[in-house]
Amino acid sequence: MRAAYPFSAIVGQNEMKLSLLMAAVDPGIGGVMVFGDRGTGKSTAVRALAALLPPLIAVEHCRYHCDPHGEGCPDHPEPAGLPTETVATPVVDLPLGATEDRVVGALDLEHALTRGEKRFEPGLLARAHRGFLYIDEVNLLEDHLVDLLLDVAASGENVVEREGLSVRHPARFVLIGSGNPEEGELRPQLLDRFGLSVEVRTPTVLADRIEVVKRRDAFDRDPQGFVAKWAQADAEVGQRITTARARLGAMTTPDAVLEAGSLLCMSIGADGLRGELTIMRAARAYAALNGAETVSREDVRAVAPMALRHRLRRNPLDEAGSTVRIERAASELFDA
Amino acid sequence: MSEAPTPLTGSDAMLGAALFAIDPVGLGGVVVRAGPGGARDAWTAALKRYLGPAAKLGRVPLGIGDDRLLGGLDLSASLAAGRAVIERGVLAINDGGVVILPMAERLEDSTAARIAAVLDAGEVLVERDGLTARLPARLGVVLLDEGIEPEERPPTSLLARCAFRIDLGATRAVELEADAPSAEQVAAGLAGLSGLGPAPDEIVEALCAAAAAFGIASIRAPLMAVRAARAHAALHGRTTVTQEDAVAAGRLVLAPLARTLPAEDNPPPDSPDSVSEEPPPPDSPDSESPEFEPGDAELLLAAVQAALPPGLLEGIVRDNARSARAPRRSGSGEAAKASQRGRPVGSRIGAVRSGDRLNLPETLRAAAPWQALRRAGAGSALIRVRPEDFRVRRFVQKRESTTIFVVDASGSAAFQRLAEAKGAVELLLAKAYVSRARVALIAFRGSTAETLLAPTRSLTRARRSLADLPGGGGTPLALAFDAAVDLALAEKAKDRTPLVVMLTDGRANIARDGSPGRAAAEADALAAATRLGASGVGSAFLDTSPRPAPGGDRFARAMGGVYAPLPYADAARVSGVVDDLRAGRRS
């Protein structure tokens, strides 16, 4: 396998990088949707994330790498007390052209052919359990697969009823999608299921563009050497995730900050409660990443565009982008 | 990104082939726009020569299935071996080589996206038919673009990954042979590439600056230019990348993508030949300075500019207007098998009738658990499949609709009307995610009716093309009807349901042949409207004149469509009429 481009070597794109780190700190934020132009490093960033994530403790040789202190899986209904192993946090790529049987899991063909036995072969959803599932070009994925993924991502459980198999297994993962709005819009119902939404653009500052080209060229010529050069920086980012995760439990959120979040959601007319829940979790993760012990109004403000821009009622005649509307509302609320 | 205004021709086309053969993976691909035969055959023959006899050169036929493109279960091998055996797809088979995509202008977006993902990752991720594999697939692509109309071009996802744009439409085969690099030179270049150091910083900086100066937004372009410069240095047997290589890369990679001319000291590009003769001698490159005022950058700009033909800017404006390429899902050839396409919804149990597609992996999977049992009976077949095991692919197809707005942008229709039409189009589009509807826009004014927005679901793209819809001029109503019929029939051929909505005051004053005159224009328009009626396409005529005159519904009657006088139409009402029409409440 080719080495992945290091996360810390990505030039700029701070909002995208931040959103991925926040999702890594608190998977409960509920996924990230990355919109952007071609060639802006969307896929690169997600694939680079794998190298940063702290490893997992899982039941030994479990096909679902299930949590020894968790709910168990079909293979290990009672995981407590079983021998464990350390595995890398999965970042699973869902390639375009994947068939449904590989996504949800299906009858193990080989097993059936050689032994004439029915056995469940877990799919990508099982592999992504406790990690990340990445779909590039979400808008090109077939609708029924997208619906299925969102359903599983929301319920944390994959229920397979096919070919005479009846299996349910845990599948808790952070869904990361990327897409190019030029290739068709996403349904609002679908967008709303993602916790955060970020927009990436091609860098316009010449110095940044030069740096992107130089680093990419250096990476292509010597991937191993380039990765080694950035290993230290990547390790520091990984440490930041670990520290922030540990801090998350003790984080306090003052009532005034909760209120600010709710007011902001109301003032821009974001539909439903999902926006409020997301903005609070996101603000907490953001504060934790920055080493704070309490969540502040500034944290709420910092994450508001990411958490809310895809939840606004779209007014097609309003040329002002969602981000501008949110920032306007935030400045009215916070600067008053 | 829209079509290259100035693709490579002649000897540059051959130089492109040579550089691509040296570094197919780094340079991603080449787009060759030309009809089959002649120059294109000569070019591909040369590429083959450059790649050498040992290189892999595959072909991805149009309409290829995922199983052949990406790979899947090899049934016969699996049955023989008694375990799942993977069959590699075209991309993995040609790892380390090049694949050619004929008729790339008809390539489906979904196929293009799969290929683009493989180009980026350098490997094929197979998650199909119960198999999981990672197969290396580092390769370059050649897109053979046979498009004639400007809108006919390969999917942008692949175009963006190709370093070179070549147009051999007006080139004869013999012209290509003139001072083309030799195969030996290319082979030596290939050998020398790995020994070549990184491109010097000042060259990278100059290429980035040049890309920015020419309005090239993509960051892939300067990156590919840097690689092209390296390949060019290797081709010339150099051990470092020089100024000359950068100039060549600017000409070959950046010039075809140029969108604007550099802002500062804008020499009119009316005499490109005199500029391109001899680039001025390079100033000493100033590697200390982060600014690139001197030497490199200027030289590059001059070189790129020299490669641009006169009239570029007009070309760009035209090109921008047409840049809305329709997202394509499937070619018209697929209409014949309409019963077997659409969204696959698993498979059903049952006998295979003609036209059905047997889902082999599913069938085998159904048969597999029983093999041990069935084998106990008589016979010696390796695998026993019984009729009850058959699984047939099921598809559900939602008929999509396309609403074609035909908007009067002439002088007689006030600008306000135009704004309303724009608003209505955007409103409809905003609802399009739910109803799976597409929207297209034809504007008519002066002596033309032009498709401003090919059928699309993208709000982003629609907004862009609406934003600069010009107004003023005569009212060529007949041409507008003609354009609407053509587009509607094209949509029908794609198995979508077209719906034509005319927004005009109906005051035709330009006849079909472009001559002014109210009477002839009126007669032509009525005839054209009748043709629209005869095509059986659903339609509506929204009369936008301030005071609808009696008899204003004559066009609507000829069209067999709905007539609605909307003197004070706002966007919401227009969109309401269309909704009703679509739901069949008014027709």
ipTM: 0.82
- Which pLDDT belongs to residue B397? 55
Distance, in Å, from the CA atom of A61 to the CA atom of A76, rounded to the nearest integer, reads 11
Is the pLDDT confidence value at A320 over 60?
Answer: no
Lowest-confidence region among A17-21, A156-160, B214-218, B368-372: B368-372
B28/B17 Cα distance (integer angstroms) = 12
What distance in Å separates the CA atoms of residue B42 and residue B57, rounded to the nearest whole number?
16
Res B234: pLDDT? 93
Give the integer Cα–Cα distance in Å for B372 and B293.
78
- The pLDDT, as a whole number, for residue B399 is 61
Helix axes A255-268, A297-308, angle to 10 degrees: 30
Q: What residue ranges in B284-365 does DSSP mark as E strands?
A: 343-349
Chain A within 8 Å of B212 (Cβ-Cβ)?
A: yes
* Region B117-133 average pLDDT: 86
pLDDT in tens, A45-73: 888 998 889 898 888 888 888 888 888 88
Report whether A248 contacts A25 (CB < 8 A).
yes
Confirm if A272 and A313 have CB atoms less than 8 A apart: no
> How many other C-beta atoms can be found within 10 angstroms of the C-beta atom of residue B213?
22
From B145's Cα to the closest Cα of chain A, the distance in A is 21
| pLDDT tops 90 at residue A132 | yes
pLDDT value for B12: 85
**B291 — pLDDT class (breaks 50, 70, 90):** very low
State the Cα–Cα distance between residues A193 and A175, nearest whole angstrom: 10
Per-residue model confidence (pLDDT) at position B294: 41
Q: What is the pLDDT of residue B108?
A: 82
Within 171-190 of A, beta carbons closer than 8 Å to B belong to 181-188
Q: Residue A213: closest CA among chain B residues belongs to which residue?
A: B223
Q: How far apart are CA B213 and CA B258, in angstroms?
A: 9
Least reliable range by pLDDT among A103-107, A331-335, B28-32, B274-278: B274-278
Closest CA to A211 of B222, B139, B107: B222
Q: Check CB contact under 8 Å for A213 and B222.
A: yes
Low-confidence winner among B72-76, B150-154, B567-571 (lowest mean pLDDT): B567-571
Q: What is the distance between the alpha carbons of residues B73 and B556, in angstroms, rounded to a whole number?
A: 56
Per-residue pLDDT of A181-199, as tens digits, reads: 766 667 767 777 889 999 8
- Of the pLDDT bands very low, low, confident and very high (cuts 50, 70, 90), residue B92 is very high
Is pLDDT at B4 greater than 60 in this prediction? no
pLDDT of residue B11: 78
What are the backbone dihedrals phi and psi of residue B36, each rounded to the nearest 5 degrees, phi first? -65, 160
- Cβ distance of A317 and B127 shorter than 8 Å: no
Q: How far is CA B495 from CA B117, B336, B434, B499, in A?
A: 29, 10, 19, 13
B263 touches chain A (CB under 8 A): no
- Quick one: angle between helices B296-306 and B201-213, nearest 10? 50
Contact A100 B371 (CB under 8 A): no
Asked whether B396 and B541 are in contact (CB, 8 A), the reply is: no
The yes-or-no answer on residue A274 being catalytic is yes
Backbone angles phi, psi at B80, to 5 degrees: -65, -40
C-alpha A121/C-alpha A125 separation (Å) is 11
Q: Of A102, A274, A325, A328, which is the active-site residue?
A: A274
A229: CB partners within 8 A, 6+ apart = none
pLDDT at B66: 83
Given CA atoms A128, A130, A135, A138 in this order, what sign does their dihedral have?
A: positive
CA torsion sign for B172, B103, B137, B161 is positive
- Whole-number pLDDT of residue B301: 67
Sequence-separated (6 or more) residues with CB below 8 Å from residue B231: B19, B20, B22, B23, B26, B27, B189, B193
Residue with tokens 């067999």: B560
Of these ranges, A1-10, A216-225, B343-352, the one predicted with the greatest mean pLDDT is: A216-225
* Mean pLDDT value of segment B468-493: 83
Chain B contact set for A163 (CB, 8 A): 365-366
Q: Are A46 and A266 in contact (CB under 8 A)?
A: no
Kindly tell me if the per-residue pLDDT of A240 is higher than 90. Answer: yes
**Other Cβ atoms within 10 Å of A148 Cβ, number:** 16
Per-residue tokens: B524:
């032509």
Strands (E), chain A: 32-36, 56-59, 84-87, 91-94, 105-107, 120-122, 131-135, 157-162, 165-170, 173-179, 196-200
**pTM score over 0.80:** no
8 Å CB contact of B113 and A96: yes
- Whether residue B373 and residue A116 make contact (CB cut-off 8 A), yes or no, is yes
Question: CA separation (Å) from B549 to A180, B542, B546, B565?
Answer: 47, 13, 9, 9
Q: DSSP strand E in B383-486: where?
A: 391-396, 400-408, 437-445, 448-456
Measured from the Cβ of residue B352, the count of other Cβ atoms closer than 10 Å reads 14
Residue whose C-alpha is closest to residue A51's, from A6, A2, A9:
A6
Is the distance from CB of B267 to CB of B305 less than 8 angstroms? Answer: yes
Token pair, residue B91, equals 């991309």
Question: Which amino acid, B284?
Answer: S
How far the first Cα of chain A sits from its last, in Å, is: 54
A170: closest CA among A126, A106, A134? A126
Q: In this model, does residue B296 exceed pLDDT 90?
A: no
Q: Which amino acid is at A184?
A: G
Q: Are B84 and B132 in contact (CB under 8 A)?
A: no
Q: Is the dihedral of CA A295, A131, A173, B116 positive or negative?
A: positive
> What is the distance, to the nearest Å, from the Cα of residue A296 to the centroid of all Cα atoms in its chain?
24
Local confidence band at B313 (pLDDT 50, 70, 90 cut-offs)? very low
For the cut 50, the answer to whether the pLDDT of residue B587 exceeds it is no
CB of A99 closer than 8 Å to CB of A57: no
Are A236 and A244 a contacting pair, CB within 8 Å? no
* Mean pLDDT taken over chain A: 85
Estimate to the nearest angstrom the gap between the alpha carbon of B376 and the chain centroid.
56
CA distance B587 to A59: 65
Q: Do the Cβ atoms of A281 and A195 come closer than 8 Å?
A: yes
Confidence at B279, pLDDT banded by 50, 70, 90: very low
* Average pLDDT rounded to a whole number, residues B149-168: 86
Q: Which residues of B touch A124 (CB under 8 A)?
A: 127
Q: What is the pLDDT of residue B566?
A: 65
Say if residue B251's pLDDT is above 70.
yes
Three-state secondary-structure class, residue B358: strand
B327 within 8 A of B153, measured Cβ to Cβ: no
Q: What are the chain A neighbours of B456 within 8 Å (beta carbons)?
A: 184
Q: Do A113 and B368 touch (CB under 8 A)?
A: yes
Residue B407 has pLDDT above 90, yes or no: no
Stretch 240-269 of chain A: residues touching chain B, C-beta under 8 Å: none
Is pLDDT above 90 for A226?
yes
- Buried b / exposed e over A28-62, threshold 16 CB at 10 Å, is bbbbbbbbbbbbbbbbbbbbbbbbbbeebebbeeb
Q: Long-range contacts for A61-67 (Cβ within 8 Å, ≥24 apart)?
A: A61/A85, A63/A122, A63/A126, A64/A122, A64/A126, A64/A129, A64/A169, A64/A170, A65/A90, A65/A129, A65/A130, A66/A129, A66/A130, A66/A170, A67/A130
Q: Name the residue among A1, A94, A109 with its Cβ closest to that of B368.
A: A109
Nearest CB partner across the interface for A210, out of B205, B427, B432? B205
> In the prediction, which pLDDT does B572 show?
67
Average pLDDT over chain B, rounded to an integer: 75
What percent of chain A shows pLDDT beyond 90? 31
Task: Tell me whether strands A32-36 and B86-88 are parallel, antiparallel or unpaired.
Answer: unpaired
First to last CA, chain B: 40
pLDDT recorded at residue A166: 86
Task: Please work out, in degrees rounded to the nearest 5, the angle formed at the alpha carbon of residue B558 by the alpha carbons of B554 and B564.
Answer: 55
Helix (H) or strand (E) holding B100: strand B98-101
In this predicted structure, which of A231-240, B20-29, B94-103, B389-398 has the lowest mean pLDDT? B389-398
Asked if B25 contacts B91 with a C-beta cutoff of 8 angstroms, the reply is: no
Mutation for testing the B interface, residue in A124, A125, A187, A206 having most B CBs under 10 Å: A206
CA atoms of B277 and B413, how far apart (whole Å) = 51
| Triad A321, A324, A329: Cα angle to 5° | 130
Q: Are A198 and A41 in contact (CB under 8 A)?
A: no
* pLDDT value for A134: 92
Q: What is the pLDDT of residue B23?
A: 92
* Range with lowest mean pLDDT among A89-93, B52-56, B216-220, B435-439: B435-439
Given a cut of 90, is residue B289 above it in pLDDT?
Answer: no
